[in-house]
Amino acid sequence: MGIFTDTYIKGLKPKASRYEEYEGGGFGIRVTPKGVKSWIYRYKIADKTDRITLGHYPTMSLANAKRKFLELSGLRRDQKNPKELIKQQHVETERKKSNTVKKLVEKWYLDYVEKEIKRPLVIKKQIDRDIVPLLGDFELDGIQTLDISTALKTIVDREAPVHANRVLSSLKQLFNYAISQGHMKHNPAAVIRPKNIGGTELPRERYLTLEEIKTLLYFLDSPQNQMSLQTKSAIKLILLTGVRTAELRLAQWGEFDFEQSLWTIPAKHSKTKIVTKIHLSSQVKAMLHRLKADNTSCYVLSGADKQTPLTENALPRAIKRIQERLGIPDWTAHDLRRTFATQLGEALHTDPIVIEKCLGHKMPKIMATYNKNEMLPQRKEALNAWAQYIENLLKDNVVPFQAKQT
């Protein structure tokens, strides 16, 4: 046979058994008894003849088949085995397909996030809602900074700039993990700054005024309020103790010593990863006793199933409903903690260092090194005074506080 043409290939008829015809140099076509026509490349290495199927006619045209043949025969002339190279390419292609952001995220979450991050479900929501839908199909070898910026802009465009910054932070951790595991050589999110995505975030300064506190607490104790005992108590407890939401949400009864009026928050529940002690005023203890009487769970604030802790979204949802009903705008559960700290200073003139100790903040390094005083008596005095101040406020019996002479 001479040079192949489309007319010739089309005219090849099936026979009782399959057969092959060649143009020359090992470029040929195979025809099966069912009429299936396949382009082939036949070559010999070390006296062993081998064949590679290039594609099927007419899906692969004569021109494309010839181009593929010339590419492989060139490899053969360079003393390379075309079949082995194709096999390696296929393995590499499959590796890249499985080496995606989605696969990396799954490994990162199981190996790192669940074990090391204090609130893994927050990251899980980012993964399910944003990271996998926007970036999951990208291959790690090919993902670029522009791809990540584009994905983050999608989040910003739905009017969630702060959330976009949170996702950016998680992506930086994700790709740093990939580098540590040998999956990537550089972090494509490293050069992206929050100010270029969601904007620079200013610290919140919102705290509730005494009148707002009064309005809020009146409502919580009124018949108009249909909130659960758990969410209602959570708001009051944060306001009276200044604890973090997560510390309260994860609190278990075993952490409380009612005889000593002391709540010991374990390091694993504390943002600062240090043991924190909270004095329990009589008002706080009364609330805790009411919760315990209505509770079969080990958690102080149990969820709907009475066994697991209150969900992360329960309190924010309740607060949003309160905002709409009472007209006390733009406050969060964390703003209750800021309210506690601010009013301890403004209403009770409490020593700033005592306030910092009440909040469970780490002291500056030099102070922490030389001053191990936990100031428990002063903190007890401050928390008792604050609880009594709130009680008097609700009775319209607030007496201006006179600072002690020192």
Two tokens, residue 40: 């082939």
What secondary structure, in 3-state letters, does the chain show?
A: CCCCCHHHHHHCCCCCCCEEEEEECCEEEEECCCCCEEEEEEEEECCEEEEEEEEEECCCCHHHHHHHHHHHHHHHHCCCCHHHHHHHHHHHHHHHHHCEHHHHHHHHHHHHHHHHCCCHHHHHHHHHHHHHHHHCCCECCCCCHHHHHHHHHHHHHCCCHHHHHHHHHHHHHHHHHHHHCCCCCCCCCCCCCHHHHCCCCCCCCCCCCHHHHHHHHHHHCCCCCCCCHHHHHHHHHHHHHCCCHHHHHCCEHHHEECCCCEEEECHHHCCCCCCEEEECCHHHHHHHHHHHHCCCCCECCECCCCCCECCCCHHHHHHHHHHHHHCCCCCCHHHHHHHHHHHHHHCCCCCHHHHHHHHCCCCCHHHHHHCCCCCHHHHHHHHHHHHHHHHHHHCCCCCCCCCCCC
Two tokens, residue 245: 């939401």
Q: Does 218 fall in a domain?
A: yes
Task: Single out the residue in 30, 62, 97 at which a domain terminates.
Answer: 97
Asked whether 54 and 65 are in contact (CB, 8 A), the reply is: yes
pLDDT for 81: 76
Could you read off the pLDDT of 364-395 as tens digits, one per residue?
654 444 345 678 999 999 999 999 999 999 98
**Is 229 in the same domain as 311?**
yes
pLDDT for 405: 37
Could you read off the pLDDT of 194-225 as tens digits, one per residue?
888 876 655 678 899 999 999 999 999 888 88
Q: Which residues of the chain have pLDDT under 50?
A: 366-371, 399-406
Backbone φ, ψ for residue 194 (5° rounding): -55, -35
pLDDT for 352: 92
Domain containing 226 — which CATH number? 1.10.443.10
**Is 336 in the same domain as 360?**
yes
**Is 77 in the same domain as 105?**
no
Asked whether 26 and 83 are in contact (CB, 8 A), the reply is: no
The boundaries of the domain holding residue 71 are 6-97
**Is 386 in the same domain as 261?**
yes
Q: Does 23 fall in a domain?
A: yes
Backbone φ, ψ for residue 80 (5° rounding): -110, 145
pLDDT for 284: 97
Q: Does 399 fall in a domain?
A: no
**Is 92 in the same domain as 106?**
no
**Is 175 in the same domain as 259?**
no
Q: Does 406 fall in a domain?
A: no
**Is 127 in the same domain as 246?**
no
pTM confidence score: 0.60
Asked whether 265 and 251 are in contact (CB, 8 A), the reply is: yes
pLDDT for 59: 92
Task: Single out the residue in 97, 119, 134 at which a domain terminates.
Answer: 97
**Is 340 in the same domain as 380?**
yes
Q: For the packed helices 352-359 and 333-346, what is the interaxial angle rounded to 10 degrees?
A: 160
pLDDT for 373: 63
**Is 268 in the same domain as 373?**
yes
**Is 350 in the same domain as 386?**
yes
Q: For the packed helices 101-108 and 161-180, what is the interaxial angle rounded to 10 degrees?
A: 80
**Is 169 in the same domain as 220?**
no
Angle at 126 between CA 125 and CA 127, to 5 degrees: 90
Domain containing 109 — which CATH number? 1.10.150.130
Domain containing 54 — which CATH number? 3.30.160.390
**Is 214 in the same domain as 186?**
no
pLDDT for 79: 66
pLDDT for 289: 95
Q: Does 308 fall in a domain?
A: yes
Two tokens, residue 132: 């996998």
Q: Does 202 fall in a domain?
A: no
Task: Single out the residue in 154, 174, 197 at which a domain terminates.
Answer: 197
C-alpha distances in Å from residue 269, one per residue of 246, 296, 313:
7, 21, 18
d(CA 266, CA 277): 9
Report the number of distinct structural domains present in the chain: 3
Q: Does 11 fall in a domain?
A: yes
Name the burial class of residue 222, with classes exposed (0-12), middle (13-18) and buried (19+) by CB atoms within 10 angstroms of its CB: exposed
Q: Does 77 fall in a domain?
A: yes
